[in-house]
Amino acid sequence: MLAYSGGLDTSVLIKWLQEKYTAEVITVTVNVGQQENLKTVEEKAKNLGASKHYSIDAKAEFATDYIFPAIKANALYEGKYPISTSLSRPLIVAKMVEIAEKESATSLAHGCTGKGNDQVRFDVTIGSLAPDLKIIAPVREWDMTRDEEKKYAKVKGIPVSTAAEKYSIDQNIWGRSIECGVLEDANQEPPEDAFEWTVSPEEASDTPEYITIKFEAGVPVALDKESMAPLALIETLNKTAGKHGVGRIDHIEDRLIGIKSREVYECPAATVLLEAHKDLEKMVLTRHEVLFKQQIDSQWTFLAYTGLWMDPLKEDLEAFINQTQEKVHGKVRVKLYKGGLQVVGRSSPMSLYDQNLVNYNIKTTFNQSCSKGFIELWGLQTRMQNMLKRKAKKQETTKVGE
């Protein structure tokens, strides 16, 4: 069983597996929003010698069971990356394992390199779901460079797309990852042809657009008063935010195996939804919940990014996260303009924000005279420590004078 995308790496692997193992290769493509023609992908696999091909539409499941938990956890790896590629891997493996059992397969193969994170995500998840199946990672074993793969493809008559000539691309409904080529120079601005989902901010509309997102129990359920299924909402927001140039990400990322890499992403819907969700949480959760949840969110994101989707700790963390989300109801108004987004309004029936308490112009139930005693106790140990420091410094100065 080969996880097949139709791209350069996995197309080369069909031939390689046949030659290396004299194997019958069954290819599996799990549709999580790659925006590829799945019929064309299937035809390519069979033309290259796959004995059978499976195409599985898992976009709706991906949105509900993988992306929505990530929204609840404000999942941004290193504060920047919405873990779009990471989230799809456990779902792809789960579907592959189902078919492997059906086909009585002996091995599962993937096209991950030995330098990236995906090898960990595939191997750990396969080992958790199907420990008896052998894992084959030809690119890691073969140690072939991308240029060598292109040469091999040419020799074997494997068609290579124009995009694959320049970049290595992975995409799903939550984001688009662009790597290789000129992007490996971390000091060079990404060329405009690297982007497909977002327009250049300079070319975006001169008129800002305002959108309102409704959340219930921590997940988005409506866009501008129109109720939407998870998949439809994400796809719509990708287009809306993308046309304003929102969602471009360019950063230095720490891969699990220790390499620092320059990563370029397009994540329009993810960027907007995560920012809106975090803002609404600040309105409805207590300060203690917000600060503690930041630690929980960070740990959840780390587990998902590093291939530990099946780890018991992730489930434990979700128990806390889901409990907090029972209060995350409300609407968030976002302004999209020339590559930027700004939360400009929010409301919630669970809001802890009380205008009567913060208003300086009207009398409220807030007793300001209590603040003096609060400040006295709040800063008590800080003042005591500084008194001791001054006393010690004075004593030292006296000794020097003597």
Residues belonging to the active site: 9, 89, 118, 168
β-pair type (52-57, 134-136):
unpaired
Q: Are 333 and 212 in contact (CB under 8 A)?
A: yes
Place of tokens 């539409």: 57
Q: Which amino acid is at 79?
A: G
Q: Which amino acid is at 69?
A: P
- C-alpha to C-alpha distance for 79 and 162, rounded to whole angstroms: 33
> What's 316's DSSP letter?
H
- C-alpha to C-alpha distance for 296 and 313, rounded to whole angstroms: 11
Q: Are 285 and 324 in contact (CB under 8 A)?
A: yes
Kindly state the helix (H) or strand (E) to which residue 31 belongs, with its residue range.
strand 26-31
Question: Which value, to the nearest 10 degrees, does the dihedral of the CA atoms of residues 233, 236, 238, 243 take?
Answer: -150
Assigned token pair, 3: 């996880």
Assigned token pair, 159: 């068609």
> What's 106's DSSP letter?
S
Q: Which of 236, 271, 285, 259 has its CA nearest to residue 342?
A: 271
β-pair type (52-57, 107-109):
unpaired
Q: Cα 188 from chain centroid?
A: 24
Alpha helices in 66-177 (DSSP H): 68-72, 84-103, 118-129, 138-142, 146-156, 162-166
- C-alpha to C-alpha distance for 321 and 324, rounded to whole angstroms: 5
Q: Are 284 and 330 in contact (CB under 8 A)?
A: yes
- C-alpha to C-alpha distance for 216 and 219, rounded to whole angstroms: 6
